[in-house]
Amino acid sequence: MSQQRLIRLSTQHPTSAVYVLGTEISIDIYGSAPKDAMWFDARGSPGIDVYIVHTPQPMQMPTSEPRWPLGAEAEVVVTMGRPSDDVGDHKVRILYYGKDVQTPLQKTMLYLTCVEVSLEADTTRSGTVQKKATDKRNWTWGPGGQGAILLVNCDRDEPTSETMDNEDNSVQTCKDLRDMSLMVLRTRGPAAVFANHKLVLHVSGSDADKVGVFYAHSNELVEQHTHVLGPEKLFYVVEHACGEEEHTFYVEGLAFPDADFSGLVSFHTTMLDTSHKSLPETPIFTDTVVFRVAPWIMTPNTLQPLEIYVCSASDNTDFVEAISNLAQKTRCRLTICPELENKGDRWIQDEMEFGYVQAPHKTFPVVFDSPRNRELKDFPIQSILGPDFGYVTREPLNRGISSLDSFGNLEVSPPVKVKGKEYPLGRILIGSSFPRVGGRRMTKVVRDFLYAQRVQAPVELFTDWLSVGHVDEFLSFVPAHDRQGFRLLLASPSACYKLLKEKQEEGHGKAQMFEGQEKVPKKTIEEILADETLRKENDYFQSCIDWNRDILKQELGLSPKDIIDIPQLFNMKDKQAEAYFPDMVNMIVLGKDLGIPKPFGPIINGQCCLEKKVRSLLEPLGLTCTFINDYFTYHKLLGEVHCGTNVLRKPFSFKWWHVIP
């Protein structure tokens, strides 16, 4: 709907007004009408469209009818199609008539000067700022949606800087500008008009701490970009606005969507009439453009791996070598965090989660730093934050954290479709105490952040039955060429007991677990099957996994054929589960190559029966299984391969703004 401005006509002298392109002027025909007037006639000079409104439906004045009844509901609406060349070069004439419809009682004149004032951005999401875009006040989702997009400028393009780029009020490099979104204020019209009018760019107090805006005095010199809007800067008077001009602004996000921030930010430019020096400035027009701050997006196992992260320690040389071999095989970069930097904290998956932000003009990765704050706490901000690599974190204010706040407890599914509802970027999975009353739960500030991103609607699973309590202890996703393009792997005590029972019946009951491992008790298959306490505990653990299985089937739209049960047993310790042997679902997924914890199962015919079973389940999908010994370096410390590694992946090709939340 166009903005409409009411103009009251003077009976003493001609009235002059400024018309802004794209708006409407409503002329008050009653205030200037003589006492005995019964009819009126309204005509415009070439370039002016005059409409007479008598009903809710406007109709253009027919040239064959020179008179209109001066009724209480009559309204004259004027529009124009292009800016004026000179001040007052367009006019509207109003003639009033009494009983004598041939002789006018009075003539009043309105002289109009048309100008263009337009605040524009990339509302079509094409990567370029659009001229004369319509409906800039609304932001809509979906393939046919519209609305500008803003990135949180949370990287550090200047390596010598001590802060993220959005924590200062300056532009230090051209790279910094490329992370920002363009906003252009365009003006056209006679220069004399702008001499008596002021243009103000402004933002609401509630939005000001979410954005920063820089004015480009020069497109060539970075240092000539002035910080004009942001926290404690609610408005900026645009200088030297005259004639046909373009004023270029660069906009950066300061905050991600969160519980108290929808992600939408509105910018306004208002034209003020300053011609009456003895009176306050009068607003005559406001244009608005809405941006949405791009969400932080997680990447599932099915996306292409780009870089692997692992920590070195005095006792894990073989493990790091095995990961290095996988990196070479899959042509991934490898980053090893040295012990001097990790200070003995090897759980790099728990410390951080990789994701990315995206706008039509720019995409870059962003690391989400967990609130666990152990010895690795400085690694993400000191070693990963940098040029075109952003950083975000959330810290609870009022309560301590639990192991569920580590990011082994944060995963994301591949894209799914659930009862006709599409999740083209997958769904976030987090562990919780539900359905148990009380217990551990991921801290609220992290959950709020994840839910607020909107494009990967989270699903909460029951993980408080586990000692560590992470979702990656009982599930993983691997790519597949059929069905939904993936399989969900679930740890399964039932599948393990079934396999061991089969081997016993085949005559291998004396085969031992942990063959070749020193100082590790070696139970036979018969002893494991005869251990009633262990069986009861694992029946309970299976019931917990099955609870999650039902949730995952419902929330991810999975059928039984989409799920593969991976043999696994757990021990009960302090009423919570720990993996009895290395937990095979806690794997690193690198395309078709899987790095799986070596289970040290019973050796039958020269081969670990657990490894053989897993190969038979996964290799038909085109996957390659590499079993990695993490027994003493990770498993005995209550973690596995996935816990000790992290993977940066290629972003989705699907654009998040095409999602319909």
Active site residues: 350, 470, 472, 643
Q: Is 654 helix (H, G, I), strand (E, B) or coil?
A: coil
3-state helix, strand, coil in the chain (%, to 5): 20, 35, 45
- What is the distance between the alpha carbons of residues 291 and 137, in angstroms, rounded to a whole number? 9
Specify the length of the chain in residues: 661
Contacts of 231 (CB under 8 A, 6+ apart): 208, 209, 254
* Of 416, 452, 413, residue with least CA distance to 430: 413
| Residue 333 · residue 389 · CB < 8 Å | no
- What is the distance between the alpha carbons of residues 236 and 211, in angstroms, rounded to a whole number? 14
| Residue 359 · residue 366 · CB < 8 Å | no
- What is the distance between the alpha carbons of residues 322 and 625, in angstroms, rounded to a whole number? 13
| Residue 476 · residue 586 · CB < 8 Å | yes
- What is the distance between the alpha carbons of residues 7 and 521, in angstroms, rounded to a whole number? 93
Rg, Å, the chain Cα set: 34
DSSP 421: E
Phi and psi angles of residue 126, each rounded to the nearest 5 degrees, phi first? -100, -10
At 84, list the tokens: 């004026």
Q: What is the dihedral of CA 213, 215, 218, 221, to 10 degrees?
A: -40
Q: Is 70 helix (H, G, I), strand (E, B) or coil?
A: coil
- What is the distance between the alpha carbons of residues 485 and 394, in angstroms, rounded to a whole number? 33
DSSP 340: H
Count the helices and strands in the chain (H runs, E runs). 11, 41
DSSP 281: -
DSSP 99: S
- The full DSSP string for 160-215 is T-SS-GGGSS----HHHHHTSEEEEEEEES-HHHHHTEEEEEEE-TTTGGGEEEEE
- What is the distance between the alpha carbons of residues 263 and 255, in angstroms, rounded to a whole number? 8
